[in-house]
């Protein structure tokens, strides 16, 4: 793949393979040359076999400084729960009419779906549409819950979901370039702490194999994975 001059210039700033976390984040910020506020992401390759159910790594964590992204929340609810959702800042609230809109109009003007447990029978009808887009409400990620107010508050505050993919890699955005190094480092530590705590008991050998941070348009900066060998405290 041929990269442009800005990317190549940025890549020249990276002089080594394994940086300390704070150094890597500061360097990633130096490589951000785009005219928009780039997202900063981490990719963590884990020593798990995702095809086995007992080696799945999935969860959510609220980043202390948020994500920098305005998240549009859709809540499937009726009655009092629908009223509570509206009062607590949900962008869209409804039941059958929203499901019909998604089915018939291919409408996806939202980023996260929340549902009360009694709505899951209805929501299941569009599971094949929501699932591939990562929008299906799920109890593990806190998006199937009777407490819609807390779910909305967490999402709006900067809750992110981390989930290992088929290649045993977790990709998570943890802020914007405009945050600056200090706030990004705080978010990074909280996120890595959560991933380390989520280590499956069935996972054998080295858990964190590689850690790479990058901005939307910039090259990857590798972090020394041995920093995370000692469990959650090592992410500090």
Same domain, 152 and 78: yes
Same domain, 205 and 168: yes
Q: What is the pLDDT, as a whole number, of residue 118?
A: 96
Instruction: At 223, list the tokens.
Output: 């972090």
Same domain, 166 and 196: yes
Same domain, 88 and 148: yes
Same domain, 143 and 205: no
Same domain, 126 and 167: no
Domain count, the chain: 2
Same domain, 200 and 182: yes
Same domain, 182 and 217: yes
Q: Would you put residue 116 in left (φ > 0), alpha (ψ -120 to 50) or beta?
A: beta
Q: Does residue 171 contact residue 211 with C-beta atoms inside 8 Å? A: no
Q: Which residues pair with 223 in a beta bridge?
A: 19, 211
Q: What is the pLDDT, as a whole number, of residue 233?
A: 45
The CATH number of residue 103's host domain is: 3.40.50.790
Question: Strand 73-76 relative to strand 92-94: parallel, antiparallel, unpaired?
Answer: parallel
Four-CA torsion 95, 96, 98, 104, nearest 10 degrees: 170
pLDDT tens digits, the chain, 236 residues: what are they? 556 666 665 556 666 678 999 999 999 999 888 899 999 999 999 999 999 999 999 999 999 999 998 899 999 999 999 999 999 999 999 999 999 999 999 999 999 999 999 999 999 999 999 999 989 999 988 999 999 999 999 999 999 989 999 999 999 999 999 999 999 999 999 999 999 999 999 998 899 999 999 999 988 999 999 988 755 544 55
Which of 156, 186, 210 corresponds to the end of one domain? 156
Which of 131, 156, 181 corresponds to the end of one domain? 156
Alpha helices, H only, the chain = 5-12, 21-30, 79-87, 96-105, 120-123, 127-130, 148-157, 181-197
Which of 103, 129, 156 corresponds to the end of one domain? 156
Residue found under tokens 């009655």: 79
Residues with Cβ < 8 Å from 56, sequence gap 6 or more? 48, 50, 164, 200
Domain extent, residue 151, equals 73-156
Whole-model pTM: value is: 0.79
Q: Does residue 141 contact residue 58 with C-beta atoms inside 8 Å? A: yes
CA 125: distance to chain centroid?
25
Question: Strand 208-215 relative to strand 159-163: parallel, antiparallel, unpaired?
Answer: unpaired
Same domain, 112 and 187: no
CA distance 192 to 155: 19
CA distance 75 to 71: 13
The CATH number of residue 186's host domain is: 3.30.190.20
Closest to 75 measured CA to CA, from 59, 89, 61, 63:
89
Q: SS3 of 65, please?
A: coil
Same domain, 142 and 175: no
Same domain, 51 and 84: no
Same domain, 144 and 205: no
């Amino acid at each position: 793949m041929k990269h442009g001059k800005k990317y190549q210039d940025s890549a020249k700033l990276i002089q080594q393979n394994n940086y300390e976390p704070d150094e890597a984040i500061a360097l990633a910020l130096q490589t951000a040359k785009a005219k928009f506020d780039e997202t900063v992401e981490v990719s963590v390759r884990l020593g798990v076999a995702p095809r086995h159910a007992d080696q799945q790594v999935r969860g959510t964590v609220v980043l202390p400084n948020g994500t920098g992204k305005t998240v549009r929340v859709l809540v499937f609810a009726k009655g009092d729960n629908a009223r509570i959702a509206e009062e607590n800042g949900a962008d869209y609230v409804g039941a059958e009419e929203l499901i019909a809109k998604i089915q018939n109009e291919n409408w996806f003007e939202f980023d996260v779906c929340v549902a009360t447990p009694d709505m899951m029978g209805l929501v299941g009808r569009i599971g094949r549409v929501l699932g591939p887009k990562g929008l299906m409400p799920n109890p593990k990620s806190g998006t199937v819950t009777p407490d819609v107010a807390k779910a909305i508050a967490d999402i709006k505050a900067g809750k992110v979901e981390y989930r290992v993919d088929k290649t045993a890699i977790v990709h998570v955005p943890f802020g914007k370039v405009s945050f600056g190094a200090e706030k990004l480092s705080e978010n990074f530590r909280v996120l890595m702490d959560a991933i380390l705590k989520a280590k499956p008991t069935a996972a054998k050998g080295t858990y964190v194999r590689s850690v790479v941070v990058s901005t939307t348009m910039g090259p990857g900066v590798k972090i020394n994975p041995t920093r995370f060998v000692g469990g959650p405290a090592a992410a500090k």
